[in-house]
Structure 1
Amino acid sequence: MGIINNIEAEIIEIGLNTFIEPTARIRGVNGKAKRIIIGDNCYIGNDVQIICDDFTLGDYCKIQHHTNIHGYLPCSIGHNAWIGQYTIIDSIGGMKIGNNCGIGAHSQLWSHIKFGDTLEGCNFLGEKKMEIGNDVWFVGHCIVSPIVAKDKSMAMVGSVVTKDMEYNTIYAGSPAQSISSKIGLQFTEVTLEEKYLKMLAYLNQFDKNSKSLKIVKNNSEVDFSNSKITYFNIYTREYTKRNTDEEVAFMKFLLPDKAKFTPYDSIQ
């Protein structure tokens, strides 16, 4: 509680192996934030500003230098996020970003519009929560209005997004429109067996003699009581988080582009 290095908040929780550069600043809109929660194995770069009264960040996230995140409504970002340099994330209207999302450099996500003189009759004044699903990717230099981006949707570089993004659909242009009929989808369906064999190959590449990491196909193969083994369930894309050195090294080996897993909400 209080001030920890460059963080000012009433409630502060910083995860294991998380590194915040000394020049980053994290606080509330008017002094101390109410709550700052940052997960394990995260990196927050030089001159990042997080000026938000209620901010949560999942595990294995990277926020690159000179990014600005601000707003007096809650801003939550899930696990495995990659946020490029000079990005702006506005939570004045509220911001929720799911797991496994990429926000390329110089992108801007806006949840409000406010400036014109309303007494004089300006019609543009509003705040609206932005909701970004899982596995969404704004490639870079994207400008995004307060939309809903459904899981696995994608906006190509330089897109200006003003309307909701549909599931596993790719957008481009200004204003952004779907181009999936021309170039396909962000994700192609992969069978469970194909995923399993690929993950076994990744594990073999990482450490073919590993005794503490195990790849499984479903929950029935997971021994939740076994704290010595980290199970990676390729069906649910979850793992039994134990925070062992080998588990952390394997997660970093998989990220950002081999495979993404999120921890089970609770070990059963």
Structure 2
Amino acid sequence: MKMSNFSEVKNPETKINVADRTFIGKNVVLGSRCKEINIGYGCFIGNDIYIDVDYLTIGDYTTIHHGSIIHGIKTQIGHNCWFGHYTIIDSLGGNTRIGNNVGVGAHSQLWSHMKFGDVLNGCRWNSSSSLTLDDDVWLVGHSIVGPIHAKEKSMLMTGGVAVKDMDSNSIYAGSPAKNVSDKFGVQFEEVAYEEKCRRFLQLRAEFCAATGIDEQLFVLVDEFSQQDGVTQFNLHERSYRPIRSAEEYQFIKFMLYDKAKWLPALAA
């Protein structure tokens, strides 16, 4: 348990696991309902964040900016996610699952329940359910979503309010949000493997020229193998074999978040 990483842990029985190279800012509080908190490698948890969720898992290289709130029962956040300032992540509906490479702009709200009016006196609006954001979903700033399923690569434009599921690689806008892909196209286009290789080698060259780090520390492979001291990247799988070196950490951070995102294929 690394309680020293947090300004306050209100439940002394909370199980806490924070991986290396993860930064936790000032005034980050774990509330009384927290039972188990797992935060991955290379994350950034900003200042003035309140976490009060029974079970929280955060993958590697995820950023949660200042003033955000995470509360509820079970929240799962994948690798390489980015949450802007003052984001609310709610899982009081039971389970909020956020995939890998998900972006959520500042002042956004992710809800898994809708409760307030008195059921005894006839209020019809009382519901809770799971909230799921699949891989590569992007909610641009000031977005609000209810307990929906946003499918892989879907995107919600600034100020959108999504109360229904979002289709894969489609763009939504408005309140309530509607599919506007016929006007804006899709979030992701197909890129040929050869072009991906060219872009990777260009990124590697730019990074190494700026840092003086040897390019041969980062190699492209079709299959992972045991190579000591070298980080292997597989474009087919969009993954890498982490060795947790200082050079690898710098290169991954250089690519995040808008150049390239990689999922760890094997434990270091």
In structure 1, distance between residues paired with 2:138 and 2:5 = 32
Q: How many pairs are equivalent?
A: 259
Partner of 2:189: 188
Deviation string, structure 1 residues 34-74 (Cα, Å, up to 9, x no partner)? 11000111111111111111001111111111001100x21
Partner of 1:24: 28
RMSD of Structure 2 on Structure 1 (CA): 1.5
SS at match of 2:233: strand
Task: Say yes or no: does 1:40 pair with 2:41.
Answer: yes
SS at match of 1:53: strand
How far 1:124 moved relative to its partner?
1.2
How far 1:266 moved relative to its partner?
4.6
In structure 2, distance between residues paired with 1:66 and 1:3 = 20
In structure 1, distance between residues paired with 2:260 and 2:253 = 10
Deviation string, structure 1 residues 104-149 (Cα, Å, up to 9, x no partner)? 0000010001111111111111110101100000001011010001
In structure 2, distance between residues paired with 1:3 and 1:187 = 41
Task: Say yes or no: does 1:80 pair with 2:80.
Answer: yes
Change (3 A) 1:80 1:2: closer
The one-letter code matched in structure 1 to 2:16 is I
Contact 2:22 2:42 in 1 (8 A): yes
SS at match of 2:147: coil
Aligned counterparts, 1:11-160, within 5 A: 11-29=15-33, 33-71=34-72, 73-93=73-93, 94-160=95-161
How far 1:251 moved relative to its partner?
0.2
The one-letter code matched in structure 2 to 1:92 is L
SS at match of 2:216: coil
Task: Say yes or no: does 1:236 pair with 2:241.
Answer: no
In structure 1, distance between residues paired with 2:3 and 2:239 = 34
How far 1:227 moved relative to its partner?
3.0
The one-letter code matched in structure 2 to 1:188 is E
Matched-pair identity in %: 46
Task: Say yes or no: does 1:214 pair with 2:219.
Answer: yes
Gaps of 5+ in 1: none
Gaps of 5+ in 2: none
How far 1:265 moved relative to its partner?
4.5
In structure 2, distance between residues paired with 1:101 and 1:236 = 17
In structure 2, distance between residues paired with 1:15 and 1:233 = 24
TM-score for both structures, normalised by structure 1? 0.93
In structure 2, distance between residues paired with 1:262 and 1:28 = 32
Contact 1:141 1:159 in 2 (8 A): yes
Deviation string, structure 1 residues 71-117 (Cα, Å, up to 9, x no partner)? 0x210100011100011110101200000000000000100011111
Change (3 A) 1:2 1:23: closer
Contact 1:143 1:158 in 2 (8 A): yes
Partner of 1:177: 178
Deviation string, structure 1 residues 192-211 (Cα, Å, up to 9, x no partner)? 11101110111111116322
